[in-house]
Chains A and B, each alone.
Chain A
Amino acid sequence: METDLFDGEIVRVDGLRKTFTLSRKQQRTEKTGLKRKIAVDGLSFTARKGEIYGLLGPNGAGKTTTLRMLSTLIKPDAGDAFICGESIVRNPQKVRDKIGFMTSELKLDGFFTPDYLFNFFGEMHGCGKEELKQRKEELFARFGIDRFANVRVKDLSTGMKQKISLVVSIVHEPEVIIFDEPTNGLDVVTAKVVTDFLLELKNMGKSIILSTHIFSLVEKLCDRVGIIIDGKAVADGTLQEVCGGVTLEEKFFEIYRSVKGVEE
């Protein structure tokens, strides 16, 4: 490990910056003459072990880009982040074994069955056969996947597919679980299963980072929250520290207006 956990810090994000080159078409769509867009601009925050940290922000704020950098899918232009002490820049392979990443952009091949995919991704993370078998029984029963274990994923409902993605992303019992918009596109029943499971994971001592634009989800699940607007962290702390006696929604819009310079 490059750095020891300091004061329970399991994820330390340190000045992350990411820019993207805009194509001419994208420049026209975004009505800008700039060739590069700053998606994340010097973002720093800390998530502690056993807590749920929420990244809250509007669409295009840089939440997904941040999570993609943390999951090592893309590299930051500047800055670094440490997950369980491992650098996402210098040790991305080690980071991948410590995290479970779930996002709508990562798909499962519909040709395979949940049973096959669970075993396959377990092997990709280097899990043993006995360990996998035990974990599969437990997780499949927990999410009601056991009845569909041998049905091809393409023949299952959207909710069931989401549950399988979730189960597959944590097949290797990661220390840190990163969820991009965990309840997006889910029906109320499946969304409840997912949120309950996140709380259960937290009770099991896992650390979770999630991104969302839903205030109630943050209020219900998160111990700490970071508000991100235009790629910059504009607030960070426990819910009480950030809100200061008002609701999260009220506080968010107060910050949003001050950052964007919008009159009341």
Chain B
Amino acid sequence: MKLLALMKKEFYRFFHDPRLIVTMLLPGIIIYFIYSVLGSVIWDDEEKNYTYDVYVSGESQITAVFDGLVEKGTVKFIQTEDVESAKEAVKQEKAAALIVFPENFDELVADYEAGSSPVDSAPEVQIYYRSADESSYSFYLLASGAFGKYQNRFVINNGAAYDLSDANEISMSVMGGILPFLVVIFIFSAGMSVTLESVAGEKERGTLATILVTSVKRSHIALGKIIPLSCISAIGAASSFLGVSLSMPKLMGASVGSVMSSFGFLSYLFIFLLILSVVPLITALISVVSAYSKSVKEASAYTGMLMILVMVLSLVSVFVSDIGGWIVAVPILNAVVCMQNILAMQFSVWQSLVSFGLNFVYTALLVFAISKMLSSEKIMNGS
């Protein structure tokens, strides 16, 4: 009952303050408009119903997933043995993509047993494309999505260098790669705006001490802050995330539908779960810093440094390929890398599940730390 009353108080504080609600939702709306406007300037508003000329090297039955589109004339497969010339054609925008199946691909797929065979030995389909070309990138998303249902049987583009765009052109597609990084930053900034005020602010104003002289358990005070503040931060982060994810395809020149359809239900579920694990962790982290600080000013300085650290590490992870499995043990960063893998169609269930679980363990440890800090007169009273 006491925990419920503490949680209700935090929700009441937020939902009865229009200024807090506006500051929480506004970033997402602004991002959506800025990205959309930027996208419409970069990309002209041409008809988005492309036809794709696609080179295919090797053979496989899985191209049957495109039968409907081939009949409609949307996709035209051109069989080739000269991979290098085909790559050149893709580079020069003469073809949308090049799909390379290894020899005896279908037999390799039939022999491969997901789970028991080593991942390295999984058959690989290579799709060469240009992320900077609207039509080429759109086909890549379409093909990745269509082949996605065979995800446990083979891998698509294991490694890098399948994007044939030059460095400048790639920069736009990198925007898609940094989406998880942006999500974490949005959660951080949403969390900062409410948590600093609620924890460091209450401590500074002496209103937290008024609660400390009641018989409520310190762990309930900690949870009574973390749970509602996480929900509120999630609202703010969701607003920013929606703003980015709805406007990102416009910025990249693809349609929302084609990007959305390229990811399966499982991908969305895991992205959601990873975000779900990161929100309370970041809220708890900011709460620890806030509880330790003497004032909101001091807390925001520390949190700012923490945010920069997370930003730098998350950004580095965008550009470093083949990060080892140890990354799942690093709080927050594990979710960033897992989300990047999901978006790059290199999704690992165990990695995502372990990251999800570990982030909750870290959150529980931080809640325990906050309870201890609330009992510490040195921290609460500065004596």
Chain A residues in contact with chain B, CB under 8 A? 20-21, 68, 71-75, 93-94, 96-97, 99, 101, 105-109, 111-112, 116, 120-121, 123-126, 168
B41 — which chain A residues lie within 8 A by C-beta? none
A93 — which chain B residues lie within 8 A by C-beta? 215, 217
Is B206 interfacial (CB-CB < 8 Å)? yes
Contact of B214 among A21, A74, A125 (CB under 8 A): A125
Number of A-B contacts (CB under 8 A): 68
A121 — which chain B residues lie within 8 A by C-beta? 210, 214
Is B5 interfacial (CB-CB < 8 Å)? yes
Cβ A71 vs Cβ B213 within 8 A: yes
Q: A111-B13, A120-B5, A123-B2 are in contact. Are A75 and B377 (CB under 8 A)?
A: yes
A109 to B152, CA, bound (A): 56
Q: A105-B206, A107-B207 are in contact. Are A73 and B216 (CB under 8 A)?
A: no
Contact residues of B between 1 and 56, Cβ < 8 Å to A = 1-2, 5-6, 9, 12-13, 16-17
The main secondary structure of chain B at its interface with chain A is: helix
Cβ B13 vs Cβ A126 within 8 A: no
Contact of A20 among B213, B217, B383 (CB under 8 A): B383
Cβ A96 vs Cβ B215 within 8 A: yes
Q: A107-B207, A111-B17 are in contact. Are A124 and B214 (CB under 8 A)?
A: yes
A75 — which chain B residues lie within 8 A by C-beta? 377
A73 to B381, CA, bound (A): 8
Q: A120-B5, A124-B5, A126-B2 are in contact. Are A72 and B213 (CB under 8 A)?
A: yes
User: Taking the nearest CB of chain B, how far is it from the CB of A243, in angstroms?
Assistant: 33
Cβ A107 vs Cβ B206 within 8 A: yes
Cβ A109 vs Cβ B215 within 8 A: no
A123 to B3, CA, bound (A): 9
A124 — which chain B residues lie within 8 A by C-beta? 2, 5-6, 211, 214-216
Contact sample, A vs B, 25 pairs, CB 8 Å cutoff: A73-B209, A73-B213, A73-B377, A73-B380, A73-B381, A74-B377, A74-B381, A75-B377, A93-B215, A94-B215, A96-B214, A101-B213, A105-B206, A106-B206, A106-B209, A107-B209, A107-B210, A111-B13, A111-B16, A112-B12, A120-B9, A121-B210, A124-B5, A124-B216, A126-B215
